């Protein structure tokens, strides 16, 4: 992007600023709505007991093979602190 083409907000008219803010607000609302839909879909999928078991088993297997991040996630999920290990 060419910075020379950018016009700072303080050099725009009040109506231009208002329009830019309105468009930003609309885009923000759409992004929030999309994240909420994705979250709701993921939660409904995770309600399946077999799937949760498979995910937990996969996470444990990764930790067993030395994946430190997987181990940290397990510790976080069970509510323990890493210091106690």
pTM over the 0.75 mark: no
Q: How far apart are CA 84 and CA 76, in angstroms?
A: 12
Buried b vs exposed e over 9-29: b needs ≥16 C-beta within 10 Å?
A: eeeeeeeeeeeeeeeeeeeee
- pLDDT, tens digit, 9 for 90 and up, residues 61-74: 999 999 999 999 99
pLDDT number for residue 81: 79
Where the chain has pLDDT below 70, the residues are 1, 84-85
Instruction: Indicate the domain borders of the chain.
Output: 9-47, 48-85
pLDDT computed for residue 80 by the predictor: 84
Q: Can you list the alpha helix ranges (DSSP code H) found in 1-85?
A: 14-46, 49-64, 68-78
Distance, in Å, from the CA atom of 3 to the CA atom of 56, rounded to the nearest integer, reads 48
Please enumerate in sequence order all residues whose Cβ is within 8 A of that of 32, keeping only pairs 6 or more positions apart, or say none.
Answer: none
């Amino acid at each position: 992007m060419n910075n020379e083409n950018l016009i700072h907000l303080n050099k725009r008219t009040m109506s231009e600023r208002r329009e830019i803010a309105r468009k930003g607000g609309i885009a923000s609302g759409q992004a929030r709505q999309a994240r909420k839909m994705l979250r709701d879909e993921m939660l409904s999928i995770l309600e399946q007991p077999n799937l949760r078991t498979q995910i937990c088993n996969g996470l444990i297997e990764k930790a067993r093979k030395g994946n430190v991040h997987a181990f940290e996630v397990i510790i976080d999920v069970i509510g323990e602190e890493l210091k106690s290990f």
